[in-house]
């Protein structure tokens, strides 16, 4: 008997994702000046207002309101009709320094074992599957693709669909057979915010939106062979969707953790990512766990893998690491034996993760929309602040200058451990 599985995604203009992007833009701005910045930045957005709160310890000086407005403008909230616009919304900032009680367990030389300890207790998960070429669950990959395509059209191809506004959501249901193989797309749900349609009835407007989405959005994301005569489409099923974004719903950092990860597949430890520097294992260890799971599956050890790691606050070594292959292992080893080998290959101490994945670089803003997992790794030059000590009139003076530095984004998506895993498993 077949079964159904559903995942959803939301666009960069969704209020919760606006909050995530602001938090990560602030984090990046601090890391550009001070890679050792400790940041826990939360954002709330609502009608005409963005509130920034949290704990920050950094040598950087950042004009927070400027970063907030630049982020909002980049997303596309730049019209007063949206009741939330980059040039006019209020920005309130309430940031204070990180607790020294936490810092003593995280700073190198101060923790229980004098190494950089975990910034908190908790468990983190990484997941991978052979369902798609990016080793992501199919329903989530398609959902991300639909909302991302809407944003691309809105920003770069308005001649295709000229009435799109920034807020949007998508949901895809996949039908599987009994051996967990995807068969077809069962249902597609797309809800997109739109301009008013003057002089046009609501029914006519909705018919136009449905036609445009089916013509310009869905075919570019979902292969035609997975859609059949029985596929169900719900396009703006509630009807008119003019009021949206922060005016329609308040947005908060960290409220889309399933969208950010695996769409409900695998598991989630509960910790959000955006606005957190990499000393917070909620973020860094979740990335490292995805890195393990993806390389494990790509190496042919299993068709599906879930990696769990857990920490105690202030302690560098994880308290546990576990791999689950759901019975799909291709090697003659138990999951416990696979877990033991993975422990020997990957150093999961917080500092080792940060070094391995380059997480002190300002690489986080792009993660805050369309998923932290499953995006393709790439390199790009970014402007960073470099400090130097020079001698002037017999005195040592610290100078600051801006330099371009090439950094890697989405390093946890690299398949750079496949050969090491194959060698360790003798395949």
CATH assignment at residue 142: 3.30.300.10
Low-confidence stretches of the chain (pLDDT beneath 70): 98-115, 388-399
In the listed set 244, 274, 290, which residue is the last one of a domain according to the structure? 244
Q: Are residues 286 and 400 in the same domain?
A: yes
Tokens in use for 218? 């869905």
Q: List beta partners, residue 92.
A: 51
In the listed set 218, 244, 270, which residue is the last one of a domain according to the structure? 244
Q: Are residues 240 and 312 in the same domain?
A: no
Q: Residue 224: count other Cβ atoms within 10 Å of its Cβ.
A: 8
Q: Is 249 marked as a binding-site residue? A: yes
Residues recognised as catalytic: 14, 16-17, 42, 55, 169, 241, 249-250, 255-256, 276, 280, 282
In a domain, 114, yes or no: no
Q: Is 280 marked as a binding-site residue? A: yes
Q: Are residues 35 and 182 in the same domain?
A: no
Q: Is 169 marked as a binding-site residue? A: yes
Name the domain count of the chain.
3
Q: Are residues 192 and 272 in the same domain?
A: no
Q: Are residues 325 and 222 in the same domain?
A: no
In a domain, 237, yes or no: yes
Q: List beta partners, residue 306.
A: 127, 324
Q: What is the pLDDT of residue 386?
A: 74
pLDDT digits (tens, 9 = 90+) for 203-221: 999 999 999 999 999 999 9
For the chain, the maximum distance between any two Cα atoms, rounded to a whole number of angstroms, is: 83
Q: What is the pLDDT of residue 241?
A: 95
In a domain, 277, yes or no: yes
Please list the helix, strand and coil fractions of the chain in percent, rounded to the nearest 5, in that order: 35, 30, 40
Q: Are residues 410 and 324 in the same domain?
A: yes
Angle at 59 between CA 57 and CA 63, to 5 degrees: 90
In the listed set 192, 209, 244, which residue is the last one of a domain according to the structure? 244
Q: Are residues 168 and 260 in the same domain?
A: no
Q: Is 214 marked as a binding-site residue? A: no
**Residues 89-125 as b or e (16 or more Cβ within 10 Å = b):** bebeeebeebeeebbebbbeeebeeebbbbbbebbbb
Q: What is the pLDDT of residue 385?
A: 79
Q: Is 380 marked as a binding-site residue? A: no
Q: Are residues 407 and 270 in the same domain?
A: yes
Q: Are residues 325 and 395 in the same domain?
A: yes
Q: What is the pLDDT of residue 314?
A: 86
**Residues 265-278 as b or e (16 or more Cβ within 10 Å = b):** bbbbbebbbbbbbb
Q: Are residues 385 and 301 in the same domain?
A: yes
Cα 228–chain centre separation? 31
Q: Is 355 marked as a binding-site residue? A: no
In a domain, 117, yes or no: no
Range of the domain at 179: 3-10+138-244
DSSP states of 2-39: -EEEEEEEE-TTSHHHHHHHHHHHHHHHHHHH-TT-EE
Q: Is 142 marked as a binding-site residue? A: no
Q: Are residues 234 and 281 in the same domain?
A: no
- Phi then psi for 320, rounded to 5 degrees? -160, 155
In a domain, 249, yes or no: no
Q: Are residues 288 and 393 in the same domain?
A: yes
In a domain, 151, yes or no: yes
In a domain, 273, yes or no: yes
In a domain, 100, yes or no: yes
Q: Is 168 marked as a binding-site residue? A: yes
């Amino acid at each position: 008997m077949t079964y159904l599985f559903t995942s959803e995604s939301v666009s960069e203009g969704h209020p919760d994702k606006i909050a995530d992007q602001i938090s990560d833009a602030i984090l990046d701005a601090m890391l550009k000046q001070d890679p050792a910045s400790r940041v826990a930045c939360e954002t709330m957005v609502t009608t005409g207002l963005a509130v920034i709160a949290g704990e920050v310890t950094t040598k950087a000086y950042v004009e927070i309101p400027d970063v907030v407005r630049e982020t909002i403008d980049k997303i596309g909230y730049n019209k007063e009709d949206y009741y939330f616009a980059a040039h006019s919304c209020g920005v309130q900032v309430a940031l204070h320094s990180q607790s020294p009680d936490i810092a003593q367990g995280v700073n190198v030389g101060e923790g229980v074992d004098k190494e950089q300890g975990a910034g908190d207790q908790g468990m983190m998960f990484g997941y991978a599957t052979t369902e798609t070429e990016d080793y992501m669950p199919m329903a989530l990959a398609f959902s991300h693709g639909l909302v991302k395509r809407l944003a691309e059209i809105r920003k770069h191809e308005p001649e295709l669909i000229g009435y799109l506004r920034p807020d949007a959501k998508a949901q895809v249901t996949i039908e599987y057979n009994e051996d967990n193989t995807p068969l077809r797309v069962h249902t597609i749900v797309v809800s997109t915010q739109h301009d008013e349609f003057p002089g046009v009835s609501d029914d006519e407007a909705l018919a136009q939106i449905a036609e445009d989405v089916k013509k310009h959005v869905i075919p570019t994301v979902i292969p035609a062979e997975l859609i059949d005569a029985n596929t169900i489409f719900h396009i703006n099923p509630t009807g008119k969707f003019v009021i949206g974004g922060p005016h329609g719903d308040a947005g908060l950092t960290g409220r889309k953790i399933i969208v950010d990860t695996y769409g409900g597949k695998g598991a989630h430890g509960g910790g959000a990512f955006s606005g957190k520097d990499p000393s917070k294992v909620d973020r860094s260890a979740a990335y490292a766990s995805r890195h393990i799971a993806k390389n494990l599956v790509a190496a042919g050890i299993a068709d599906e893998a879930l990696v769990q790691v857990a920490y105690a606050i202030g302690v560098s070594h994880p308290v546990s690491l576990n791999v689950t292959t759901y019975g799909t292992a291709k090697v003659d080893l138990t999951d416990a034996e696979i877990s033991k080998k993975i422990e020997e290959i990957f150093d999961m101490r917080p500092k080792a993760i940060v070094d391995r994945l380059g997480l002190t670089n300002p690489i986080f803003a792009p993660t805050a929309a369309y998923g932290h997992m499953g995006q393709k790794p790439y390199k790009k030059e970014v402007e960073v602040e470099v400090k130097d000590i020079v001698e002037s009139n017999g005195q040592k003076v610290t100078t600051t200058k801006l330099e371009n530095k090439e950094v890697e984004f989405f390093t946890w998506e690299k398949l750079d451990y496949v050969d090491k895993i194959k060698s360790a498993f003798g395949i």
